[in-house]
Structure 1
Amino acid sequence: MKVIYRITYPNGKIYIGKDLTDSINYFGSASSELIARDFTREERRHFTITREILWESETASDAEVARREIEFIRKCRSNDPSIGYNRWPPPGQRSEAD
């Protein structure tokens, strides 16, 4: 199963990612440095995040999953630094498919 997921951090910011293996223990590749800037040392002592599957497919190609990931990043605006931790694609950047 291939999935697109949303991770929500305690500050409400989100990260959208894809997992081509449906690993229950995969939480993406968001920048630890960016996330750490948003939390005090005390806030980091007890930290809960939520991982929600937004889309899944048993038959999609890896390329389709990548396209869907970008769609969800744009739809959820997780590439806007005030909303999320995705840094690609930059807000306003158009893809070849647009």
Structure 2
Amino acid sequence: MVIYKITYPNGKIYVGQDRTNSINYFGSADSALIAKDFPKDMRQSFTVCRDILWESETATRQEVNAKELEFILLLRSNDPAVGYNRWPRFRPSGGEA
């Protein structure tokens, strides 16, 4: 089981988990949300990067879920300006709505 970070060409990130550590799994981010940031011409050729942030062979599903949440909050990938995670809902600090 791993927690990974996907970095897209625009620098935005997505944090997720993969219980099988599959070489060709690149997350389940909202495709429509990502597509808004990439016009057709940018889709012709691009590179994404998948980094393993944490891994375990013995963690429970609950521990993996907690670790995923920890990294989402740490990296702020739920902030629409930073990443594509939409859970937990981003709440700006400083009294902004």
TM-score w.r.t. structure 1 length? 0.91
Q: Which structure 2 residues correspond to residues 22-41 of structure 1 after superposition, within 5 A?
A: 22-41=21-40
RMSD (CA atoms): 0.6
Indicate the residue corresponding to 1:95 in structure 2. none
- Aligned pairs for 1:57-76 within 5 A: 57-76=56-75
Gaps of 5+ in 1: 93-98
After superposition, what is the alpha-carbon deviation per residue over 1:68-97, rounded to whole angstroms, capped at 9, x for unaligned?
Answer: 0000000000000000000001124xxxxx
Give deviations 1:34-91, integer Å, cap 9, x for gaps. Answer: 0000011110100110000000001100110000000000000000000000000112
What SS class does the counterpart of residue 42 from structure 1 fall into?
helix
How far, CA to CA, are the matches of 2:11 and 2:57 in structure 1?
Answer: 30
How many residues are aligned here? 91
Tell me the equivalent position of 1:5: 4
In the alignment, which residue of structure 2 is the partner of 1:45?
44
Partners in 2 of 1:19 and 1:62 — Cα distance?
11
Partners of 1:16 and 1:37 lie apart in 2 by 19
What corresponds to 2:94 in structure 1? none
Give the SS at the match of 1:75.
helix
The corresponding residue for 1:21 is 20
CA separation in 1, counterparts of 2:29 and 2:43? Answer: 16
Structure 1 runs (4+) deviating above 4 angstroms are none
Percent of residue pairs bearing the same amino acid type? 64
Partner residue, 2:89? 90
Aligned partner letter, 1:89: P
